[in-house]
Structures are given as C-alpha cells and as structure tokens.
Structure 1
C-alpha cells in the first residue's frame, strides 16, 4: 500500500509567519503523497474585531452565527488557505486549496441544537465524502490544502473543527493508502509530566492509554486528541502521531520524535 500523510497544523504556527514558512518548507520537502489541513481561529478573531464581529465561545468552541460563518469562510477558505497555497507553489509543491464544498469532498449536516445552539457548525457525513474525487487529485500529484469548512449540500457553508476534518480525511482514504495522521502542535508530543517538556511518551497503545488514565498522568487538553486518534485507528488509519511542528520531517520517518499512537 502506498504511504499517505494527512497533516494538521493550527495554533501558534498559523499565527506566526516565520514559523509557518519554516513548517511549509518542511511540508513541501515530503516526497510521499500528503494532505495539509489547517486552522486559523486567532486570525479570524482578529479580523472579526476589525469588522466589528464579536467572537463567542462556549466550552472552548466557537459559536458560528450568520456574520461569523461569512467571516470564517473568508478567512479560512480565502486568506489563510490561499497564502499557504501560494507559499507551497513557491516551494515547487503543486498545492490546491479546498474547502469541504469543493468537488463535494466533505458534506456535513448542521449540528442539531441540544443544550447549546452552535449555529452554522457542521458535523461530517462520513459515508457521503467524495473519496473518488480525493483520489483523483492525489493520483494526479496535487497536494490538497484543506480549510476547516464543510457544506450542507443546499448551498450553506459550515464551520467544522480542523482536527475532525483531518481525522475524517485520513479514515476516508485508509482503504486505498497506508495512512499516518499527524497532529502538529507546540509540544514535543504527549507528555507524561506537563511541566517537563522532555517527558514525551514515544508510543501509546490502548493498554498504555488506559494505564495513563488510571494514573492520572495526562492533562485534560490532550485527551480529546488521543480519543480522536484511537477513533481514527478503529476506522482503518494505521498510525496517528502527535508532535511538534518543528519535528515534521523526523515524524514522517520510522524514527519518530513525537508520540506515535497505534
């Protein structure tokens, strides 16, 4: 099976031009097939303030009202996405920028209102993803750069978490490729001691994860990422890696620096 890397970048790397350029240089240097999924929340918040659009969060998740869906469509699908694509083109990486609406790659449904109305937030309809269109682009050596936006099939764009988009793409393509899903962030990996940057746990299996939970070794912020990782692995993804954006080139080899989950 041919190798495919699905790589998610967000947070501080997207917000800092120098960090982003360094990361994209490494990303462009990966010779295997690859897909990049990006966030851009802080940039959307900053531009929203300039336009008088207030950001509202509940439990760390953005409430996406009508003004906000227009804002994030412009920022994620336009400004952030096209800057990344242009930079990759300058590095001889034939990138193509997409949202979930393009080629119908990621259809979604508007999240039903339960306790909280999240507004125009999309939950991905995994069985309707256009896997054939994704494969056409990969087989013609396009490198997809995917913004965290989906659509409902009736003309409405929807805001969707970038981690979830990366995981869904990895799962959708795992029947055709040997997929390693890589979540890049500011830490070196999953830390055994949150105060100690070098206490990286190099490998987590389900058994190891259960033990870490019993021992209360993991900080709350990392738990959703690990849960997401095991969900992807249950659905066919071979490996998930959580690591530092600066270690990307190491983390596409067999000698990884971050935390490998398998």
Structure 2
C-alpha cells in the first residue's frame, strides 16, 4: 500500500521565515503523497496582545472567546495558510489551502462545558476525504489550518495536532499513513534546557512514568495524547522532532509506539 505522510508544523517554525523556508524545502522534497497541517498559536497570541485582547491558556489549551476566534481565523486561515501555500508554489509543490469548512473536510462539535469552558473550541467528529483524495491523485498537496466547522455555520478553533492525527486516521483505509510533528526541538526532551536529552522512544508504559514525573507537561500533553490516539487507530508511524527527520531517518527524534 502506498504511503501518505501527514506533517504538522508549529512553534517557531511558523514565526521564523528562515526556519519556515528550511522546513518547506524538506517538505517539498518528499516524493510520496503528503498533507501539511499548521498551527500558528504564537502568531495569534502576538496579534491578540497588539490588539489588547487577553490570552488565556489552561493545560496547554487556548480559551477561545469570540474576539479570539476572529484573530485565530485571520491568522490561521488567512495570513499563515496563504503564505505557506505561496511558498510551496515557489518550491514547485502545487498546494491548496484548507480550513475544515472548505469542502466540508472536517466537522467538529463545540467542546461541552464541564469544569472548564473553552469557548469556541471544536472537538473533531468526522473527516471527509473524498475530495482530498481527488486532489492528491492529481498531485496537489492540501495545506490545512487549525480551523474546523460544525456544519451549522460556526467556525471552531481546533487543536492542530488533533487535525493532523484525525486526517492520518481517516486515510488509513487508502494508505499506509505516517504522522510527523515537526517543531524547533530535536524531539520530546527529558530536560527542556538540554536539546540533546531526546527521549527516542515513548510507549504506553514509559509515557505514564513521564507524566507522573511531570517531564511531559503543558503544550506537550495534548500533542502526546494525539500521538497515541493515532497509533491506536492504525496509523503506522508517529514521529516528533525537527523537519530533518522527514528526509533523513537517522536524525535523532522521538518515535511513538504502542
């Protein structure tokens, strides 16, 4: 079965033009079908601060009120997505930008209020891949931002790691899917101050130990949750690290396995 690579980028890779160009050079060289998913939380936070709109995070997740949703939509589906698509075109990778609303690709429901009200945050319920498959068959690369919709006209801020994970799962019937989370670090670090302290393999057993010792915390919590969700739903491989791991398999990084 042919391999499909779903690659998610975030962190400083998006905010730094040099780092973004370096990543896109690697991504463009992938010779298998591929999908790119991007976040942009730091850019959205910066714009919110410039507009004197407060930013609230709980357990690595953003609280999204109406004003914050407007900023996220502008940054994710507008500036960042279009910029990435344009840069890929310059690297001879034909790409089309997507939110979950485009083509009814990703349907979510507004996260129910339990102990925390996350606001306009979406939990993914369905991924439609038929039109995406047609594009991939014609050599076109979908580029997804982290905005979904509820099929009732409401846009929802959705964790980009979850978007990547659910896309990888949705395509498992058509491909052997591999999921890559690329950011500025070498992988999941045992010591956040030491870039060489990469935890090369995380499985269900040592994951619990890492959680108990608070080595995995904050924004890494939802990322690892999505990694294991993908592995538990027939995604072949999940990797976390710098974008050099896309082309060079011997690059030190973190691999998630059962």
1:206 matched to which residue of 2? 204
**RMSD, aligned CA:** 2.1
Q: TM-score, normalised by structure 1?
A: 0.89
Deviation at 1:133, TM superposition (A): 2.0
- Structure 2 unaligned segments of length 5 or more: list them: none
Q: CA deviation at 1:174?
A: 1.3
Q: Which residue of 2 aligns with 1:230?
A: 228
Q: How does 1:1-262 map to 2 (within 5 A)?
A: 1-125=1-125, 128-209=126-207, 216=213, 218-221=215-218, 222-250=220-248, 253=249, 255-262=250-257
Kept in 1: contact 2:60–2:221 (CA 8 A)? no
Question: How far 1:7 moved relative to its partner?
Answer: 0.7
Mark the CA change 1:185 to 1:98 in structure 2 (over 3 Å): closer, same or farther. same
Q: Secondary structure, in 3 states, of the residue corresponding to 1:37?
A: strand
Please list every run of 5 or more consecutive structure 1 residues that lacks an aligned counterpart in the other structure.
none
How many Å separate the matches in 1 of 2:51 and 2:185? 33
Query: Are 1:175 and 1:236, in contact at CA under 8 Å, matched by a contact in 2?
Result: no
Distance 1:196 1:138, change over 3 A: same
Aligned residue pair count: 256
- Paired residue secondary structure (1:48): helix
C-alpha offsets along residues 78-125 of structure 1, whole Å, 9 cap, x if unaligned? 100000000000100001100000001100011111222211111101
Q: 1:19: Cα distance to partner? A: 0.8
Q: CA deviation at 1:220?
A: 2.5
| C-alpha deviation, 1:256, in angstroms | 4.7
TM-score with structure 2 length normalisation? 0.91
Note the alpha carbon deviations across 1:206-230, whole angstroms, 9 max, x for none: 345456567x484324444333212
Contact 1:193/1:217 (8 A) holds in 2: no
Distance 1:117 1:205, change over 3 A: closer
Q: Judging changes above 3 Å, is the alpha-carbon distance between structure 1 residues 66 and 208 closer, same or farther for their aligned structure 2 residues?
A: closer
